[in-house]
Amino acid sequence: MRLELRDVHHVYSPGTPFEVVALRGVTLSVEPGEVLSIVGGTGSGKSTLVQHMNLLLVPASGQVLVDGEDARTLKKSELRRRVGLVFQFPEAALFAPTVQEDVAFAPHRIGLGDEEVRTRVRQSLAAVGAGHLAERSPFALSGGEKRRVAIAGVLAMGPEVLVLDEPTAGLDPATRQDLLGLVRGLREAGISVVFVTHDLDEVAEVADRVCLMEGGVARAVGTPAEVFYANLENAPATVQIVAGLKAAYPGVGEPVRFEETTAALRELLEG
């Protein structure tokens, strides 16, 4: 599935003293099977942008297209099944007595049969590494476990695009790494992932493409190397280290991921 936003504008509280222009003509695509990271400072429009991807917010002008079709022609329930949105701290919405009941709630709501629901619950929990938690109360889990279960609840709907808004916020470093591994696994399973974060070092490790938001505008869109080496003030530590050496050692290249960067620096030192 290809998801596309064309010249999308959004205004909060239009025509009032509280009017705020949040998006100013953003054009962006989510390609099949990729991890697209959306980065930018607070107030840059990141969360507003992703809420347009399943029309939780409707553009003031512009279009959202699903495989070339205007998303407004689709049933909202179908669109939100295909484009799953996981908000920051999604574990706050957990409510059922057991994990498996919580994950099963949405599939039951859309009318799936009991056997199909059980299959989806089992598969989605396995996908996030939480199959062993099925019988437990979600309120007895750790923060990272709750986050995984909340993501499983969206995966059980069978989305083709999964939007994760700050999925590692508030987690310890080990759990953050686990969730980055989950993002890679979803991509390998053919699910497109939109990954919204402030942590540029995380982006360096998982992104296929990056969209840098600033003032409601997509300031730059491209591969991590294309975006970060052209915008060093918004680049992860790996890029900033290499950028400081490039003038003297142009052969170091433009690595972004940690392992690529350490390999390039090792080769530079050995040479």
Closest CA to 189 of 9, 35, 52, 68: 35
The pLDDT > 70 percentage for the chain reads 100
Domain of residue 163, CATH code = 3.40.50.300
Residue 40 lies in a domain: yes
For residue 192, what pLDDT is reported?
98
Q: Are residues 255 and 143 in the same domain?
A: no
| Region for residue 266 given its phi and psi (left: phi exceeds 0; alpha: psi -120 to 50; beta: otherwise) | alpha
Model-level pTM greater than 0.75?
A: yes
Domain containing residue 129: 32-51+75-227
Average pLDDT over every residue of 26-39: 98
Q: Are residues 47 and 157 in the same domain?
A: yes
Give the pLDDT confidence of 222-262 residue by residue, as tens digits: 999 999 999 999 999 999 999 999 989 988 999 999 999 99
How do 192-196 and 161-165 pair as beta strands? parallel
Give the pLDDT confidence of 100-114 residue by residue, as tens digits: 999 999 999 888 999
Residue 24 lies in a domain: no
Give the pLDDT confidence of 139-157 residue by residue, as tens digits: 999 989 999 999 999 999 9
Average pLDDT, the chain: 95
Residue 14 lies in a domain: no
- Whole-angstrom distance, CA of residue 34 vs CA of residue 187: 6
Q: Which is it for the CA torsion 100, 103, 109, 110, positive or negative? A: negative
Confidence check: pLDDT of 271 > 80: no
Residue 248 lies in a domain: yes
With beta carbons less than 8 A apart as the criterion, state whether 189 and 159 touch: no
